Amino acid sequence: MNTEATISDDERRAERPGFDILGRLLFAAAAFQTLRAACETGLLDALIETGLDRKELSDRIGIRGRWLDTLLTAAAAAGLVARDPTERYEVTEALRPAVRSREWELFKATVAFEHHMTYRGIEMFTESLVNETNAGINRFPGNPGDSLYVRLTGDPQLRKVFYTYMRAWSRIGGSVLWKALAELSPHRLLDIGGGDGVHAIASVKSIPGLTATIVDLADAVDVSRLRITDEGLADRIKVVGVDMFADEFPQGHDVVLFAHQLVIWTENQNEVLLRKANRALPMGGHVVIFSSMTEDTEDGPFIAAMASIYHTAIPVEGGRIYPWGHYERWLGGAGFGDFRRVRSDSWTPHGVIVATKLAEVDPFG
């Protein structure tokens, strides 16, 4: 029997729109590699100010012949470049504002991170779901049970990719945080898991009289110390090696900041961290949470939902880009209230929640 004949043309046509979506997803990894090549070969930088023909382009970026053909066809199909009637290539009109923007160099650092870290581990996303663990962590050398952050301390090259990205991503989305912090007029900021110090540095520079303490893993604090010394801010920012779970938080601060931090951990761990923040703060003190946020409807934004795949598959067992409301629920249980949500006006799904300490919590909780 000819089974083909049992499917009508109308039925076939009705199916095609779905395959448009599926086809794009099927080749999303190839599209990403096209973007990476367009960034790393300098293709987009070469074509941003003036159009170039194939020969000029080849001389400029050093990719030749059929290798250049593949790159240009993929880049054109992906909407990155276009060929004009005189056979000169240029960055597409839609992309030009981004490639010309202040964020372009920062964006390229996020491309490197996606390639060297995210893609390396997210191939284990399905295995992570099925086995209820961060199965992609095994793609990074280290001891069983160690988080990505501990593993990074043994791999200087990957560590550089990570902190270059982290700083770039923080700077792309950070202005909403730095403004929210300035509005609180804090005196002493405690930055939990402060990374290379990007937020503490931006804050002390813009808030008169502010001093800060950065907490990070003992083997990671050299990253921020170096940067703080370079900036000449060692008298205003202290860095301490503290495990945020094993140790209590340092006392004497009026704001506790969790920047790109609570997305790493499970609900229970976040409740523990927020209770620690409560114990470290005076009444009326503030917790500030900064991160990509998922809508409470849990259907996007796209970038937040996709970034969750990395957090589920790689760094530790249990992270996720949580919806706004989850943070408020945990904060309420940890003695905080008067929540304020602030959305970023960046292209990233960053947001800030500011909460005020209204009650003491169980000191042994």
Ligand X SMILES: C[S@@+](CC[C@H](N)C(=O)[O-])C[C@H]1O[C@@H](n2cnc3c(N)ncnc32)[C@H](O)[C@@H]1O
Do the beta carbons of residue 160 and residue 188 sit within 8 Å? no
Of residues 30 and 218, the one with the C-beta less far from ligand X: 218
Closer to ligand X by Cβ: residue 89 or 324: 324
The β-bridge partners of 266 are none
Closest among 294, 262, 297, 292 to 277, alpha carbons compared: 262
Choices 23-31, 70-78, 123-131, 211-219 (CB under 6 A): range interacting with ligand X: 211-219
Sole residue written with tokens 């951990």? 265
Q: Residue 259 or residue 288: which is nearer to ligand X going by CB?
A: 259
Q: How many CB atoms lie within 10 A of CB 192?
A: 23
For residue 198, state whether it binds ligand X (rule: CB under 6 A).
yes
59-67, 137-145, 239-247, 353-361 -> range binding ligand X (CB under 6 A): 239-247
Smallest gap from Cβ 306 to ligand X, in A, equals 16
Residue 261: which of 198, 340, 342 has the closest Cα? 198
Q: Which of 108, 151, 225, 260 is close enough to bind ligand X by CB under 6 A?
A: 260
Nearer to ligand X, 45 or 219 (CB): 219
213 is a site residue for ligand X (CB under 6 A): no
- The residue from 259, 274, 314, 321 that contacts ligand X (CB under 6 A) is 259
Smallest gap from residue 364 Cβ to ligand X (A): 20
Dig out the tokens for 350 from the structure: 């960053």
From CA 211, how far away is CA 255, in angstroms rounded? 11
By the rule CB under 6 A, 217 interacts with ligand X: yes
Counted residue by residue, the chain has a size of 365
Residue 309's region, left for phi above 0, alpha for psi from -120 to 50, else beta, is alpha
Count residues binding ligand X (CB under 6 A): 19
Q: Which of residues 167-196 bind ligand X (CB under 6 A)?
A: 170, 193-195
Residue 176: C-alpha distances to residues 20, 56, 199, 210 (Å): 36, 42, 11, 18
* Under rule CB under 6 A, residue 149 binds ligand X: yes
By the criterion CB under 6 A, which residues form the site for ligand X?
147, 149, 166, 170, 193-195, 198-199, 215-217, 220, 243-245, 259-261
